Structure 1
Amino acid sequence: MTEKSREENKDISKNILKCRDDTQPVIFMQQGISIDDSPPQFMLAENSTCSWAKQEDVFGIDKLRPRIEPWLTALCQSEHFSLLLGSGLSHALHYLGTDKVLPGMGLGDFGDENDVVNGEAKRTAEASGRGDGNIEDQIRVANELLRGLEILGTRDEQAQERANVLRSKLVDVLATFAKGILRGEQALIAAEENKRERAFNYLVSFMMSFASRTGTRDRLHIFTTNNDRFIEAGAEVAGMHLLDRFIGSLAPIFRSSRLDLDLHYNPPGIRGEPRYLEGVARFTKLHGSLDWVDCFRNIRRVGVPFGACNMQPYLNTFGTAKVDAMNLMIYPNAAKDRETASYPYVELFRDLAAAACRPNHTLIAFGYSFGDEHINRVIEDMLTIPSTHLVVISYDDPLGRIMKTYEKLGRHAQISLLIGNHVGEFQSLVDHYLPKPAIDRTTFRMAELLKARWGTKQSEDQDSVPTPTPEEGGEA
């Protein structure tokens, strides 16, 4: 690899790792770009130091895996455990299945109000460190402007006319936004069969690595900021059952009351309390979903097939009710006749705060860029509890928000980092570093036997043996 190409790929090949006994982030660089299936090789960055590698050492996956996999395995068996998934998951899955980048969401056109909407969207995005803003910022600002014009319109005909035009433009933008999400789903469904199956196999392995928890532990709670249905599709392929706030079968309805439903079973021939059914997780979509619709003053989930070509036919299933893209519950949109634009999002964020801010809780954030201040505040509050832990996994950090948040949070001993094109890349993460996607008691028993034979003697080989959890006889 030439010096020029090495310099061009310098930022791409940078990885940041902080886990186990690391007191500060360790930065290491990939040595060249593999043109075949040979495993990648790494070296520490020029100004980076750590306890497990010297500056001149060249190391590979065999050096990294014993440091990462047992650590993540132990964290995944915390008493309370949550997974926060951002758009990075959708991008990774789409690229794995199609070899193409997920279609971007371009800015919307709001006609005469375009300058006002874009100016305020840019201002608020820059204030929160998110660059120039995106279509979600536009939708949020347009909703606020529309509400203001509707209030003025009660006394001013010109304001009412502006409100009518803006409402029409907002409906068009929301419809285009929904079609963009559907295009991402369609591309994955229409991909070559072997690539599509590979993408879903990786998604299933990824989700089951976190959902495979012993029965004495609290359920995994999955939170996502995505509006698409990649996670739901992966759960169906995996045979996972997702518990959310929706109740019903034909057109499930969102319930504000938190119903702690769960799935249990009675083992044949055994009396006593029912046991937890495996393969069950709680699920919360913080920013709403493509198939959530505000209709008859209720939030309902409509049966839109994964990868459907058009959304409107499924919105027309509500009979006499006038339902269009304005009724889609895609954050931060809410139909104008709701008592507050915060419904149902306030309930969803209450779930996040209730799940995160508990002792002995671990939160793993994958593909989340820390661009949502309302989520960041919950994470900051969570880390004030000494027994909580945050793991950040990301392919990159283009705007530096992750590392800025890491420095701002301060409690570095409670934060682990896996950032980069190797440790944070979806495929290599599943292949080498995530826990085994199964509840494997045999592995724990093997670890107990090895520990009994070797006593307290430490060796490099023992680093790769998973530590048994307390319920399996290990030390607390």
Structure 2
Amino acid sequence: MAELFFQGGGEIERRDLESHLSSLCQLENVGILLGAGASKSAGGMVMKEIWLDFKARNEPKIPILRDKYKLIRQQEIEANSVNIELLIDEVLKNKNVIDTWQQDSTELQDLLVELYRSVTKAALLVDSDFPKLHVGEKEKFDKHKNLLEKLISNRQPGQAAPAIFTTNYDLAIEWSAEASGINLVNGFSGIHSRTFQPHSFDLGFRNVNAVGEARFGHYNMYLYKLHGSLTWYQDESGDVIECNSSKAYQDFINPLVGEGSFNDKQRLIYPGANKYHHTIGFVYGEMFRRFSEFLTKPQTTLFVNGYGFGDYHINRIILGALLNPSLHIVICYPELAELSANSQLENGLSPAQQCIDKIRKMQLNQVTIIGGSDAYFDNFVDLIPKPVLFPKNSAVNVIAEALNNLGSTSKGE
């Protein structure tokens, strides 16, 4: 796959891109938006693969969605381009209407459970190892750890900690940060009952023993999960709780993935119409508000990777934010070379492709687009400037091993 690098209206060389990325990492505010493609190398599924998983198990039920309720079109089915999140939303809306009429909604409930099942399988990443400790030490998360370490080590004294925005439900970022010894501020606070407290996003960590500029080093990152998480659930009082992976797997995930069991007492938060109601709506609304607020700050960089521009709300926020003259956006889009060719086809571009094409044709100097193989997550991480504070991907493990060996040597003397 050919490499393509565009800034503004023209193509740039790889050397210029690397220099540009280095400069962007030094701006006052640095964030990254990660989509499903960013977790694929760690075992995740992209939207097409989630649909294929659902379709393989529910082929006889497809006509219910297509013909009876007209929620998907034959063209989408044949192209395997069904957006699972939008489909969940529509199924849930139709089910709620039927329930209001006090009619039987069993067939939609069964389809909803199967959709939830596919979405959950796509986000597990490590299958039955999900509830285990130290999952982030697995090799498949090396690039995620490398990304976090690079972002935080490129921060200068007095600058804001990096911000991670993601549409993914998986725990790739949480596990990787834990393995690298990085504190994550994700909006939840508490020890035994971690409830959503948005003011925690306004807090940070500092070294109380440091003086001078060292006092303003960075010991944390901010994580905003725009579409929720596999470890979020809503308790009986309506509060949104973050539980550990062991409890989430035992109480919610395994019964669904393994047995297709799902009931009202399982309060794991999934995408769909319910995300805009009651307490859930407050949590999601706060996440999106913080995302919009971040993009309006002066001297800000947003890297976009693994996101296919299939979410209308996020696209509007990004396009609107381009009015901020000091915002710089770097978009990774592997299929960039195909846009021009597809635009000449009879069916034209998909809505997601139209958004990318629109951004490209705006020819703004504040937008850089990376196409080809370098746009994939693992290769993009390699493009980010080499860190100083974390000279090796496995720095934490190397130091821990050295300390253990030192202890063993002392005992042997």
TM-score band by shorter chain is: 0.7 to 0.9
Q: Residues 340-419 of structure 1: matches in 2 within 5 Å?
A: 342-397=281-336, 404-409=354-359, 410-419=362-371
Shift of 1:333: 5.4
Partner of 2:244, secondary structure, is coil
CA contact (8 A) 2:334 2:372 kept: yes
- Over 3 Å counting, the alpha-carbon distance change for 1:177 and 1:275 in structure 2 is same
Cα pair distance change 1:121/1:362, threshold 3 Å: farther
In structure 2, the residue matched to 1:181 is: 123
- Structure-2-length-normalised TM-score: 0.74
Q: Distance in 2 between matches of 1:369 and 1:201?
A: 23
Q: Is 1:292 the counterpart of 2:232 in the alignment?
A: yes
2:170 is aligned with 1:220: no
Q: Identity of aligned pairs, percent? A: 24
Structure 2: segments with no counterpart, 5+ residues: 132-136, 257-262, 340-348, 391-413
Secondary structure in structure 1 of the residue aligned to 2:193: coil
Q: Secondary structure at the match of 1:413?
A: coil
Say whether residues 1:18 and 2:6 are aligned partners: yes
Number of residue pairs aligned between Structure 1 and Structure 2: 358
Q: Report the Cα distance in structure 2 between the residues aligned to 1:169 and 1:427, rounded to whole angstroms.
A: 35
On the 8 A contact 1:186/1:308 being kept in 2, the answer is no
TM-score (normalised: structure 1):
0.65
CA gap of 1:112–1:340, structure 2 versus 1, over 3 A, is: farther
Matched residues in 2 for 1:197 and 1:232: separation?
A: 13
Partner SS, residue 267 of structure 1: coil
By how many angstroms is 1:202 displaced? 2.4
Does the 8 Å contact 2:205/2:220 carry over to 1? Answer: yes
Structure 1 position 293, deviation (Å): 0.8
Taking a change above 3 Å as real, the CA distance of residues 188 and 413 of structure 1, as seen in their structure-2 partners, is farther
Q: Which amino acid aligns with 1:298?
A: D
What is the CA-CA distance between 1:427 and the residue it aligns to?
A: 3.6
Deviation at 1:391, TM superposition (A): 0.3
* Aligned counterparts of 1:185 and 1:70: Cα–Cα separation in 2: 36
Please say if residues 27 and 300 of structure 2, whose CA atoms lie closer than 8 Å, have aligned partners that are also in contact. Answer: yes
Deviation at 1:111, TM superposition (A): 8.3
Deviations 1:316-340 (A, max 9, x none): xxxxxx8545x2212225389x537
Q: Structure 1: how far apart are the matches of 2:200 and 2:138? A: 36
Equivalent position of 2:402 in the other structure: none
Q: Within 2, Cα distance between the matches of 1:360 and 1:335?
A: 32
In structure 2, the CA distance between the partners of 1:170 and 1:387, relative to structure 1 (3 Å rule), is same
The 5 Å alignment of 1:415-430 reads 415-421=367-373, 423-430=374-381
Shift of 1:411: 4.9
Are residues 419 and 370 of structure 1, via their aligned partners in 2, closer, same or farther at CA, if it must alter by over 3 Å?
same
The structure that has the greater radius of gyration is: 1
Q: Distance in 1 between matches of 2:96 and 2:280?
A: 10
Whose RCO is larger (CA < 8 A, sep 6+)?
Answer: 2
CA contact (8 A) 1:389 1:414 kept: yes
Distance 1:405 1:283, change over 3 A: same
For residues 69 and 304 of structure 2, the distance between their equivalents in structure 1, rounded to whole angstroms, comes to 30
1:342-376: CA deviation from partner (whole Å, max 9, x where unpaired) = 34322211111111122211111011111111111
Q: 1:121 to 1:357 in 2, by over 3 A?
A: farther
Gaps of 5+ in 1: 1-12, 27-51, 53-63, 96-100, 154-159, 191-195, 316-321, 441-476
Q: 1:164 to 1:428 in 2, by over 3 A?
A: closer
1:435 corresponding residue in structure 2:
385
